[in-house]
Amino acid sequence: MASTVAKIGERYAILALWGVMIAVYSVLEPSTFDTGGTVQTIFGSQAALVFLSMAFLCTVIVGEFVDLSVASILGLCATIVPVLNVLHHVNVVVASLVAVAIGVGAGAVNGLLVVYAGVNTIVVTLGMFSLLSGIALAIAHLSAVSGLSASFGQIALANVWGLPISFYYGIALTLAFAYVLAFTPLGRHMQFVGANREVSRLAGVRVQRIRFGAFVAAGALCGIGGVVVSAGLGGFDPSTSVTYLLPTVSAVFLGTAVVRPGRFNPIGTLIGLYFLATGILGLEELGLAGWISDVFYGAALIVAVTVTTLLRKRISA
Partner 1 sequence: MFHCPEPMGGDTTTAAQGILRLGGSSRRPRLELSHLSKSFRASRALVDVSLAVAPGEVHGLVGENGSGKSTLVKVLSGYHAPDRGASLLIDGQPLELPVRPAAMGRFGLSVVHQDLGLIDAFSVVENMRVGLFGVRRFTRAIRWRQERELARASLAALGAQIDPDAPVAGLSAAERAEVAIARALQHHEHGRGLVMFDESTRALPLQPRRHFYSLLRDIARRGGSVLLVTHQLEEVLEHTDRVTVLRDGRVAGGGVDADGITEHDLIRLMLGRELPRRSKRPDRAVRPARPAAEIRGLRGRLVTDANLSVGAGEVVGLTGLLGSGFEELPYLIAGARPASAGTVSVAGAAFDLRSASVRELLKAGIALVPERRDTEGLALSESMIDNVTLPRVRSRGRTMHIGRAWREREAASVIRELAVHPADPHMPVGQLSGGNQQKVLVGKWLCGYSKLLVLHEPTQGVDVGARQVLEAAISAAAQRGAAVLVAGLDAGELARLCDRVLLMCDGHIDRELTAPLSPELIIEAVYRDRRKARAS
What residues line the site for partner 1 (CB under 8 A)? 183-189, 191-192, 195-196, 198-206, 262, 312, 315-317
Instruction: For the beta carbon of residue 62, count every other beta carbon within 10 angstroms.
Output: 26
Q: Smallest distance, Å, CB 65 to partner 1?
A: 15
SS3 assignment, position 196: coil
Going by the DSSP 8-state scheme, the letter that residue 143 receives in this structure is S
* Beta carbons within 8 Å of 38's beta carbon, 6+ residues apart: 32, 281
Whether residue 196 contacts residue 207, with contact meaning beta carbons closer than 8 Å, is answered with no
The CA R_g of the chain, rounded to the nearest whole Å, is 20
Q: Smallest distance, Å, CB 176 to partner 1?
A: 11
Choice between 6 and 158, CB closer to partner 1: 6
Q: Within the chain, where are the H helices?
A: 2-11, 13-28, 36-44, 47-61, 70-82, 92-111, 121-139, 150-157, 165-183, 185-195, 197-202, 207-233, 245-254, 266-285, 291-315
SS3 assignment, position 164: strand
Choice between 16 and 199, CB closer to partner 1: 199
Q: Smallest distance, Å, CB 216 to partner 1?
A: 19
Q: Smallest distance, Å, CB 63 to partner 1?
A: 11
Q: Smallest distance, Å, CB 308 to partner 1?
A: 12
Backbone angles phi, psi at 235, to 5 degrees: 160, -165
Choice between 11 and 201, CB closer to partner 1: 201
Q: Smallest distance, Å, CB 40 to partner 1?
A: 35
Separation of alpha carbons 129 and 240, rounded Å: 13
Q: Smallest distance, Å, CB 315 to partner 1?
A: 5
Which helix (H) or strand (E) segment is 145 a member of?
strand 145-146
Choice between 88 and 206, CB closer to partner 1: 206
Separation of alpha carbons 136 and 102, rounded Å: 12
What is the Cα 55 distance to its own chain's centre?
6
Choice between 196 and 239, CB closer to partner 1: 196
Whether residue 166 contacts residue 174, with contact meaning beta carbons closer than 8 Å, is answered with no
Choice between 116 and 183, CB closer to partner 1: 183
Cα 122 to Cα 127, 150, 193, 223, 304, distances in angstroms: 8, 39, 18, 21, 19
Choice between 92 and 210, CB closer to partner 1: 210
Choice between 17 and 183, CB closer to partner 1: 183
Q: Smallest distance, Å, CB 225 to partner 1?
A: 25
Choice between 204 and 287, CB closer to partner 1: 204
Separation of alpha carbons 184 and 200, rounded Å: 16
Q: Smallest distance, Å, CB 317 to partner 1?
A: 6
